[in-house]
Structure 1
Amino acid sequence: MGPVPASAPLPLERRLHLKDVPLLEQPGWLGVDRALVGWRAWCLASGPVLVADGGTALSLTLVTSEGRFGGGRLLAGAALQLRALASETAGLPGLDLPLDLPLDLWPRSTSEAMAAGVLRGLAAALAAAGREAQTSCPGCSFWLTGGDGSLLKPLLQQLLVSPMPLQLAPDLALEALAALRPSPDR
């Protein structure tokens, strides 16, 4: 999520800001989208969570059992990685999401190799983050949201070896907005 355009029909006093999200100890630089999904997953899980929001960037947000911002990570999302490969590497095609994960573990076509590399690479990064989150926040559950969540869930399920609960919640940010929206008479 970026800033709301000034021309948007939503009155300024009704817009949600980072300070409106009751995530404890959130730094001022945190994106409101990350605060929203972290807070909402924490509310639904009633415990520590790691939220992976798969969009242009794949953001990881850790929330402690007390509802405190525990840190996070950012990496390029699937579409951004594919665009970078196509634009910065000679001879690679442009691919659009959604991608089908190739059935072959070692594809022979360029486009399938790109899809497999990007999706499996993101899933491996998420699995490693999940293992590390369990170490720092025992009992942590894993939440996937955003456009790439459904693409990554099957791969992540294969890679998570610990009993870490995995939830797919594609509308987590919207659910948080609905729960926190200012009342019309504000």
Structure 2
Amino acid sequence: MFLNKNILIITLAIYSASLFGQKDSTDITVKDLTIKGDINIAQGVYDPLSPSKAAFYSAIFPGMGQVYNKKYWKAPIVWAALAVPTYYYQINNSDYKRYRTAYKLRKNGLQDEFTSDAGISSVSIQTLETAQKQLRENRDMSLLSGVIIYILQIVEASVNAHLLQFNTDDNISFKPALIMNPIRYEAPSVGLVIKYNF
């Protein structure tokens, strides 16, 4: 027992001597240092408010977030994508109102636009009901698709603003290379070498 304690104490003493014997190489003091000229500190590309600004601009006016991100070619695509459901919403809504008015007039025994002066109707009342139902569904789908496109263009502007902040310098590259093993020429083995430069 006494021998084990002595061995432990001697071992700790040897290791502690080597631990405290090292000198810190980062402890450097600089005295009387003068710098001639200007020091340029490069600012980073990262702007944490850029994605929220792009999303806010897109929410106010569709396509404005894409213009804020300097992706000018995307703005006409956003406007066209929002114009199509708006156009179909207006057409379906006006036709729905026409058929709805004709249905109400027909139910009250009055003449509607589908009834001639002789009292002959070109559209039955069941057709008016079916047309109203179909036009209402088309109108609602146009509205839903317009809202989805509106939300997607906000998300696209925000994500694009995030992705624009990544460093895509040519010095940061991934260059795989396949090298054949010259020693085992008869039974070739293929390896992968990855080189990266900063």
TM-score for the superposition, normalised by structure 2: 0.27
Higher helix share: 2
TM-score (norm 1): 0.28
More strand by share: 1
Q: Which has the larger radius of gyration?
A: 2
